[in-house]
Amino acid sequence: MRLLQEENVWIVGTAGEADHTLFQSKMTGPMALVMGAEGEGMRRLTREHCDELISIPMAGSVSSLNVSVATGICLFEAVTSAQLS
């Protein structure tokens, strides 16, 4: 992660307790997306090395998503943001 940051790659991690959502994040430019393990999330040190933590807003009674679905949502938003900028 440090090597990526030295190359000006923004490290974005997903965490349910993040202060802002995926849709509030500026997901443009060189970026690496870090996904946590299902049920466990990211390890503490991994979380601490992220430049930004984001959450995916949930609707209704849904409390979490599996990692493949969450990754797809984040990648879709990143591609959409890149195309609009």
pLDDT digit string (tens) for 36-58? 888 888 999 999 999 999 999 98
Which distant-in-sequence residues (6+ apart) come within 8 Å of 74 by Cβ? 12, 14, 22, 27, 33, 35, 54, 56
d(CA 29, CA 17): 24
Higher pLDDT, 81 or 51: 51
Q: Which residue has the tokens 């090597």?
A: 3
Q: Please report, for the chain, the start and end positions of each structural domain, with discontinuous segments joined by +.
A: 2-84
Residue 78 near residue 31 (C-beta atoms within 8 A): yes
Residue 76: per-residue pLDDT: 94
Please give the CATH number for the structural domain made up of 2-84. Answer: 3.40.1280.10
- Residue 33 main-chain phi, psi, to 5 deg: -105, 125
pTM of this prediction?
Answer: 0.87
